[in-house]
């Protein structure tokens, strides 16, 4: 999960821009971004739909949704992410309404589709960081600090027949996410999965993860899951 200010490799497979620019500390599009982008593409035409991207980072998914015809609102707690997304949307020539804030700030609004690639990596500290690059991935000892917040708040922002797409690591508990969304009145399922090699962040804390029983002694691959939920 290296971070830099240099442009990313070409992302034409899922984004309308050739390269995305990031300020230091802003999350770089990676496997999870691409997996969620593929799920978004499978939803079909987004023309005229109101889409919300929570935790937009560099804006890759927000820009892709706008490229597919959606009216997009992008949200992030990071000023640097907001500036990065605004610049990338401007460079792409696509309208994205970018806001700094939290999901609670959107109370009362309704969206046809909500997507999020939130922080989800289990970390050896109870509270996630409030600044620095690790804020983009560390999410408490069970990796669910932000996931649980989303599960409480996102369903109320969905309009009739609205869809919620969420990507995270299986280390954070896919079943817990499914149960949480179903308890909120949504029909939820795992829409896609992908195994990827452990990245630098997981490798740096393998001893702690193994001690907690989250990974086995010989495991070297992380499973990513895309959760799709919709109003029943």
Residue 52 pLDDT = 98
**Cβ distance 17 to 88 under 8 Å?**
yes
pTM of the model: 0.90
3-state SS class at 38: helix
Strands (E), 8-103: 50-54, 71-76, 96-100
Q: pLDDT in tens for each of the 232 residues of the chain?
A: 332 333 343 344 444 445 799 999 999 999 999 999 999 999 998 999 999 999 999 999 999 999 999 999 999 999 999 999 999 999 999 999 999 999 999 989 999 999 999 999 999 988 877 788 888 898 999 999 999 999 999 999 999 999 999 999 999 999 999 999 999 999 999 999 999 999 999 999 999 999 998 998 889 999 999 999 998 7
Q: What is the DSSP letter of 28?
A: P
Q: What is the DSSP letter of 214?
A: S
CB distance 202 to 172 below 8 Å: no
Phi, psi of 151, rounded to the nearest 5 degrees: -65, -30
The conformation of residue 192, written as its DSSP 8-state character, comes to E
| Percent of the residues in the chain that have a pLDDT greater than 70, as a whole number | 92
């Amino acid at each position: 999960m290296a971070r830099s200010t240099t442009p990313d490799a070409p992302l034409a497979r899922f984004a309308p821009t050739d390269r995305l620019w990031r300020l230091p500390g802003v999350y770089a599009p990676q496997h999870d971004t691409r997996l969620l982008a593929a799920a978004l593409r499978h939803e079909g035409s987004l023309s005229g739909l109101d889409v919300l991207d929570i935790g937009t980072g560099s804006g890759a998914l927000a820009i892709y949704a706008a490229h597919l015809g959606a009216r997009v609102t992008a949200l992030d707690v990071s000023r640097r992410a907001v500036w990065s997304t605004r610049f990338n949307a401007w460079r792409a020539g696509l309208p994205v309404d970018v806001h700094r804030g939290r999901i609670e700030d959107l109370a009362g609004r309704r969206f046809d589709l909500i997507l999020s690639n939130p922080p989800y990596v289990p970390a050896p500290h109870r509270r996630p960081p409030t600044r620095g690059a690790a804020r983009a991935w560390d999410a408490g000892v069970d990796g669910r600090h932000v996931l649980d917040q989303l599960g409480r708040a996102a369903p109320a922002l969905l309009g009739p027949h609205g869809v919620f797409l969420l990507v995270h690591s299986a280390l954070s508990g896919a079943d817990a996410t499914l149960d949480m969304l179903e308890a909120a009145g949504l029909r939820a399922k795992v829409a896609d999965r992908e195994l990827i090699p452990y990245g630098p962040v997981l490798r740096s804390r393998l001893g702690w993860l193994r001690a907690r029983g989250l990974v086995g002694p010989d495991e070297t691959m992380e499973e990513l899951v895309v959760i799709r939920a919709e109003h029943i």
